Amino acid sequence: MIGVINYQTGNAQSVLFALHHLGLEARLVATPEEAQGVDRFVLPGVGAADVTMASLRERGWVEHLQERVCGDGIPFLGVCVGLQVLFEHSREGDADCLGWLPGEVVEFRRGELRVPHMGWNAVRRTSAHPFATALPPAAHFYFVNSYHAVPADETDVAGVTEYGPEFASVVARGNVMATQFHIEKSGPVGLALLSRFAELRPEELGACELRGQAVPAC
């Protein structure tokens, strides 16, 4: 069962619709108490990182996700802001984030680029991670983002997109995967990635090596 985290901000309903379109078992979960029976999570996101983190903390998700994802090693997929909050800090609202992956989130260079970065853009695979292998050699995905992650560990980058310089548009480490683009709005290629996430078994993803804050690193 896939649990789509439904908090005060996000695009949870559209992600749930995409999962149901694929015939996958999924439901919205607003609090950790509703997550019984869930064996993998999707964290969608629309809006600002600081607002997202405040909502996750208020509902008890930070501790719960670190226990289940970092501790138990269940698969996790972040989407859009759900990718950005995986890192240590976001300059958007000066927010401390989950800190599972080393790095920070910065704004695109205003004046040099149109911000937000919006519309269809290409993603180039850079990793052999089992999730990333579902990326086609040449495909476009749908983006809406003013900020982007700058991973401190290049091995966490699973796909890149050019907007000005290249930026990390897919990240993956062990059981944690995330896309900066809206996977649920990216047509057949996005649905294929969602399907890939749903079928991955924890043993395919290797040992959990996330940093974690409230829970000791696994």
All domains of the chain in start order, with CATH: 2-204 (3.40.50.880)
Q: What is the pLDDT of residue 152?
A: 97
Beta bridge partners of 27: 3
Q: What is the pLDDT of residue 217?
A: 35
Output the six-digit token pair for 87.
């890192």
* CA 156 distance to own-chain centroid: 12
Beta bridge partners of 143: 119
In this prediction, residue 216 has a pLDDT band, given cuts at 50, 70 and 90, of very low
Q: How far is CA 206 from CA 41, 73, 92, 158, 171, in A?
A: 17, 9, 32, 15, 15
In this prediction, residue 45 has a pLDDT band, given cuts at 50, 70 and 90, of confident
Using CA atoms, how far apart are residues 98 and 86, in angstroms rounded to an integer? 5
Q: What is the pLDDT of residue 209?
A: 63
Q: For residue 94, is pLDDT > 80?
A: yes
In this prediction, residue 104 has a pLDDT band, given cuts at 50, 70 and 90, of very high
Q: For residue 93, is pLDDT > 70?
A: yes
30 burial via Cβ count (<10 Å: 0-12, 13-18, 19+): middle
Q: Which residues are catalytic?
A: 80, 182, 184
Mean of the pLDDT values across residues 164-169?
Answer: 94
Contact 1, 37 (CB under 8 A): yes
Q: For residue 57, is pLDDT > 70?
A: yes
Helix (H, G, I), strand (E, B) or coil at 215: coil
Strands (E), the chain: 2-5, 26-29, 40-43, 76-79, 87-90, 95-96, 101-107, 117-125, 139-145, 147-151, 157-162, 166-173, 176-179
